[in-house]
Amino acid sequence: MLFPTISFAIFFMVVLPVSWLLMQRRFHWQLFIIAASYFFYGYYDWRFCFLLLGSTVVNQIVALQIHSSQNERTRRAWLTVGIVANLGALSYFKYYGFFVSNATNLFARLGLGVSPTIVTAALPIGISFFTFQAMSYIIDVYRRTFEPTGFFEFAVYLSFFPHVVSGPIVRAAEFLPQLRERHDPRKVDSSRAFFLIFMGLFKKVVIANFLGANLVDIVFANPRQHSSLEVLVAVYAYAIQIYADFSGYTDMAIGLALLLGFRFPQNFDGPYTAESLQDFWRRWHMTLSRWLRDYLYIPLGGGRGKEWQTYRNIMITFLLGGLWHGASWTFVVWGGIHGLFLSYEHWRQARRARHVHHLEPPDTGLRRALRRFAIFQVVCLAWIFFRADTFKNAADVLTRIFDPAHWGQGAPLVTGGVLLAILAGLLEQYIPKDALARAMSAFSRLTPVGQGLVLGFALLITNSMGPRGVAPFIYFRF
């Protein structure tokens, strides 16, 4: 069930009033919201509900055992059981075929004729997101930074429909305390919620879907059939498409949760305005960045120890982060590109720290603009491997861009609409936060009728500008 569809609108129009009617009856509300969330999740394939239920039961048992055990060895053993169970389920559904096919190819190169039967399992939507949330829950319980909650509260946390499919990755400490708050529908910031929902809808339908349908999907399907200019613009268009698609989903998820009385953490903050890759990862998919930092990079040693150990930890974190996105070596290369450039940035910072008397040139607006431009090029280079289905596809994109023989060809797909959509996706990230706050404030001061008229007109414009149909969100694949 996609957010920008009539079916979801009907679903939410039923869930919203019933949720508030039952809010003061905690147990009944929990049962209702779990049922609604499982209906939403099972709308894609009802069989995946058993996987979500199994994850809930197993992780709750593990958390309770970790919490009740006084022996450190026993606690560590239960944590290991939980991590193995979570990664085992994720590996089977997402990586089994990838690992087996690569092992088979390796054996074939060694002259060993191994031909195992590859069992193809449908990839459950959102498995990476709710698995990471479950793992953070049991790890926090193990660290004694969070105590396990009741089973039904945990079931609400793991299955809550606004974030179950594509995040943001909400930690238990961010969500579960809200279940115990007294919620008052009169105190809900509905103006901000509707503003976010519309912004997300516009980014998804008008920008992401338009760029995907009119340029990106066509060019990446066969780069050799297009001019160098079309391929280059398609790469930039994909950078905007994936931002508009994913941040649009996040905006809608945050807005929907807000209408239900819950606050989600911010997930995007103008990532293409970043002046370094470190800055980029503080702004892009922020909940995943923090998860990888707190549960992988820092436990590996983080920036402690020798410099080469820091570079090792960065590379491991981003290679695994790339693999988290999909069972393909192209995702690993995407993570490797980010890891290499982040390691270079750390090297430069360490070098400057050793030369404290070295005078840096003054930081001007031009220098900041050049840094932003350079970082955007690095990010777009990595996006080529993220978007390409195969290494050959990525190689075709790169060779066509740098082939001077095809720069003189026509570029009929590079239309004014495409360039305008790319520009809109970029400029949106440069809008000052206080300007957005003023716009939200002005919208909130309108009467309910006025807000309804504004939203109705905005939806009409959005529907007329976007292509027919609603493509699935890109991060549904992950």
Query: Encoding tokens for residue 470?
Result: 């609603």
What is the C-alpha separation between 328 and 330, in angstroms, rounded?
5
If residue 22 lies in a helix (H) or strand (E), which one and from where to where? Answer: helix 6-22
Let me know if 162 is exposed, middle or buried by CB neighbors in 10 A (0-12, 13-18, 19+).
Answer: buried
- Say which DSSP state 84 is in: H
Which residues are known catalytic residues? 325
User: Residue 200 in contact with residue 249, Cβ under 8 Å?
Assistant: yes
Q: Which long-range contacts (CB under 8 A, 24 or more apart) does 324-332 make?
A: 324/128, 324/288, 324/478, 325/128, 325/386, 325/478, 326/94, 326/477, 326/478, 327/94, 327/95, 327/97, 327/98, 328/98, 329/391, 330/385, 330/386, 330/388, 330/389, 330/390, 330/391, 330/394, 331/385, 331/386
The amino acid present at 81, given as its one-letter code, is V
**Could you tell me if residue 411 is left (phi over 0), alpha (psi between -120 and 50 degrees) or otherwise beta?**
beta
Q: Which long-range contacts (CB under 8 A, 24 or more apart) does 261-267 make?
A: 261/19, 261/20, 261/23, 261/178, 261/183, 261/185, 261/188, 262/160, 262/162, 262/175, 262/178, 263/178, 264/162, 264/163, 264/168, 264/170, 264/174, 265/168, 265/170, 265/174, 266/168, 267/167, 267/168
DSSP H helices in 260-390: 277-283, 286-292, 298-300, 307-325, 329-354, 365-387
What is the C-alpha separation between 239 and 257, in angstroms, rounded?
27
